[in-house]
Structures are given as C-alpha cells and as structure tokens.
Amino acid sequence: MIQFPQARYRLLEQPTPLAPLARLEKRLGRSGLFIKRDDHMPIALGGNKLRSLEFWLGAALEENADVLLVAGAPVSNQCRLTAAAAAIAGLDCLIVHNDAETDQTRRSSFLNRVFGAEVRFVGAMCEDTRAVRIEEIAQELRSAGRRPYIVGSAVVGALGYAVAAAELLSQSEASGYPIRHVILPGSMGPTEAGFIFGNALLGNPFDVHLVSVEYGQADLAARIARIFGELQHYTGKPDVKLDDGRVHYHMDYLGPGYALPTTVGENAILTLARTEGILLEHTYTAKPFAAFMDMAMDGSIEQAEGLCFLHTGGVPTLFVQNELFETI
C-alpha cells in the first residue's frame, strides 16, 4: 500500500477489476494476458481521471474551494468526470470548452450539464491560450466572491496512479497472476509518471511500456521525467529514482497523429470487442492495445512474464468516432 500525506477525497471504494483475457489468449495462442479495468468504475462511465480527481478534490477542499474550474474539448473525459465528482463533493463546476458552440458540441457536452455543471464555449484555441483564459475566468470568479480551484495540476493528479501501481501489485500477488509488463498510453504524462513513480516506490516490480498516442519520444520522456521530479519534491521522497531501464517507449503506433485512427488501432478495437466484449476508442486506448497484442505475439516477452493492459477508459468518446472506422 502506498499512502501520501496529501489530502484525498475518496471516489473509489473498491479496486478496479484485474482479469485474465482468456478468450483473447485463445485467439492469439498464448497465455499470460491480463487487463486492469480502469474503464470499469462506478462513477460517470469511469476512466483514469477519477483517480486523479481524488487528489484534485482533496486539494480543492483543503483550500476551501466552492467551485471546480476545468477546461477541455466537449467530449473530454476529464470534464465529464470532474462534473460528476463536483456533484458528489457538493461543489459547483464550471467547464470551459475551447470550441465553438454548435448543436454538435452541445450534444457532446450533454452529460456535463446532466451532472449540473455550467458550460462555457470560448471558441477554438490552443492549449496555452486556453490556460490563460482559464486563469482569467478564475480571477473573474474570485472578484465575484467565489473560491475556484483549477483542476489539472499534473503533480497532484499523478498521485492517483502512484496509488494504482500499488493496487495492481497487490491484486497480482493475491491472484497469483504473474504480471511483469504493464502497457498504457503515453500522452500528457500525469497518469504515466504517477504509475512509474508508484512502481519505483514499490521497488520496480513492473516494466512499464508507454505507447505514444500524442508526442515524439523525446517530448514524452521529458514530460515523464519532469513530473517524476515534481513528485519527488511534492511527496518528500527525493531518494525515489526514475529507472529508465524499466520504462520502455513505443513510438510506432501513433500513425498520422493524436486522435487520428490507424488500421491497427481499428483492428485492436474490433478484436477486443469481439473476444472479450470490452470497448476501446481511437484516441487513447486502441493504439496501445494494438501494441499489447503485438508484444503478445512477437515473442519479445515470454509467456511466464505476464502482460497487463491498463485500460484508462475514455469509452464514451467512441460514440462520436463512428465515422473513423473503415471496416464496419
């Protein structure tokens, strides 16, 4: 068990499931394949950001905030889960979408309003400009007597996946599943760096494989190293070291770019759906699962060294991706 002194608001009372992929094993002709179901959470269709939100909410309540302020695209899983978490914690939620308001974007943001969030569309803009706009809105709220907390701190959110690493190890040991390799998406960094930090705290029982869905290797590795360093300082654990030999970067699955479909990604979605009844989506999970299947089949990892796919969720995005499929 990993514990931190930072405040944590519990949203998840039970570990997420860890299960063998028995039908996929039969399809691929090998054993030792597992999935950690962080898509299988009881709140707002689940997803990895709920683990981060436990610590973001903890920090917000510690600061006596009365409104959560979060930004993202209309289909953002982080926005949806923040709206739900705010409702549970009794806080208001203001969501800022960096997109134009249209019938389509309003439909995409529908669940945010179901959870009671106020939604503002501020037009298309890059992430840096959006960050400036969020600070401006936060200041407007303060001037009106509100106490906003801006959701999204990488180092705070990363704590959730340091805890997840310990959860996975505990489940693996209790079940007897011989998990050695963990595969997850490589993107903004908090989930990945948090898991790697937790793995280091545990003595590096896992080899961690990051399959890029957004950045080149140098950029992704720099993000991981930066957040890992911030975690050392934030948790008061400077002696915990990043072992580069236990972190592996896979860059061959990105295809034309972030959120853009690939043939192998589509095959991964259909294969998992048609063997295990589990859904993936093109942006974050299909490409890493394609890598997972290749690693299972290419002989690079022995069957005694189990592979675990960490499913980070995001499945609601699939409902706006139907036009991205070529074969169905």
Active site residues: 76
- The radius of gyration of the chain's CA atoms, rounded to the nearest angstrom, is 19
Per-residue exposure over 100-124, b if at least 16 CB sit within 10 Å of its own CB, e if not:
eeeeebeebbebbeebebebebbee
List alpha helices for the chain, DSSP H: 22-28, 49-62, 77-89, 103-108, 110-114, 127-143, 154-175, 190-201, 217-235, 263-276, 286-297
Q: Give the bridge partners for 93, in sequence order.
A: 68
Q: Are 204 and 246 in contact (CB under 8 A)?
A: yes
